[in-house]
């Protein structure tokens, strides 16, 4: 199938729309973290994820940049795992003790996890696409 024709398939269009929504999501997440006590690394992380998605839409994907985003996500995941594990270990009653701190760590943990999954999916897709060519 010619390259131009494959760009107009319903699957390709749905993928582009999803990537555009993810650009908006990661940009919004970066903006939200501006008021956080430790905004710089989280904002940088989400901006890198937004750029990865934007480059995918523009068909300028960068595997090294995706690997950097995945590495950043793993570091963020590791730094917030304690709050997530506290809730798993101690259950909902742990939420009453230091509710705001644990809720923040849990939100950060899942944000990093979603970001890693997105970047891993983009990396797998890019490797597949480059192997086909």
Whether 92 shows a pLDDT value over 70: the answer reads no
Whether 133 shows a pLDDT value over 70: the answer reads no
Q: What range defines the domain where residue 31 resides? A: 3-132
Over residues 13-22, the pLDDT tens digits come to 999 999 999 9
Residue 33 per-residue DSSP state: G
**Distance of CA 43 to CAs 14, 97, 102, 128, Å?**
27, 28, 20, 30
| Alpha helices (H) in 3-98, listed in sequence order | 3-6, 10-32, 39-57, 63-90, 93-97
Res 8: pLDDT? 81
Over residues 97-126, the pLDDT tens digits come to 566 666 677 788 889 999 999 999 999 999
- Structurally, the chain folds into a number of domains equal to 1
Q: Cβ distance 112 to 80 under 8 Å?
A: yes
Res 35: pLDDT? 82
**Whole-prediction pTM:** 0.82
């Amino acid at each position: 199938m010619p390259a131009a024709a494959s760009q107009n398939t319903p699957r390709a269009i749905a993928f582009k729309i999803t990537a555009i929504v993810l650009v908006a999501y990661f940009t919004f997440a970066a903006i939200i973290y501006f008021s956080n006590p430790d905004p710089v690394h989280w904002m940088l992380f989400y901006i890198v994820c937004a750029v990865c998605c934007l480059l995918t839409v523009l068909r300028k994907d960068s595997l090294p940049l995706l690997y950097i985003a995945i590495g950043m996500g793993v570091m963020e995941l590791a730094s917030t795992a304690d709050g997530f594990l506290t809730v798993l270990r101690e259950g909902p009653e742990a939420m009453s003790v230091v509710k705001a701190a644990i809720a923040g760590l849990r939100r950060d943990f899942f944000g990093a996890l979603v970001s890693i999954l997105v970047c891993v999916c983009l990396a797998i897709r890019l490797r597949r696409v480059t192997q086909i060519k």
